[in-house]
Amino acid sequence: MTPFDKNPKDPLHGITLENLLTQLVRRHGWRELGKRIPVRCFQYNPSVKSSLTFLRKTPWARKRVEDWFISEIKTQGTKNIQAPLEAPGWRKRSGDIRRA
């Protein structure tokens, strides 16, 4: 079942901020996130933990990240929504995503 099946008016229903951020990092990398949304937590020594802290405290940045994710869902469909942190070659380590 996709998030659209549960609540068609809220495309982010059932998707955590961590999952959303992790998917954007997997698809685009930190460099692209830093270019599109120029904040220090994406540009200098980025980690999921520091980015989540910043996004939770900064509504305008969180909105830009969420809007970017929603636009990808609309253009690519919901089939590309993945389970959090379980892609081959990736591992979670103290709030950070690193290549294995």
| Each residue's pLDDT tens digit, 3-14 | 445 566 888 888
pLDDT at 16: 92
Question: How many residues in total does the chain contain?
Answer: 100
- The fourth-level CATH superfamily of domain 14-76 is SAP domain (1.10.720.30)
pLDDT at 75: 86
Instruction: State the Cα–Cα distance between residues 21 and 55, nearest whole angstrom.
Output: 10
Please write the tens of the pLDDT for every residue from 19-29.
Answer: 999 999 999 99
Please write the tens of the pLDDT for every residue from 29-68.
Answer: 999 999 999 999 999 999 999 999 999 999 999 999 999 9
pLDDT at 8: 66
Task: Give 87 or 75, the one with higher predicted confidence.
Answer: 75
Domain positions in the chain are 14-76
Instruction: State the Cα–Cα distance between residues 95 and 12, nearest whole angstrom.
Output: 22
pLDDT at 64: 95
**Residues facing 98 on adjacent strands:** 91
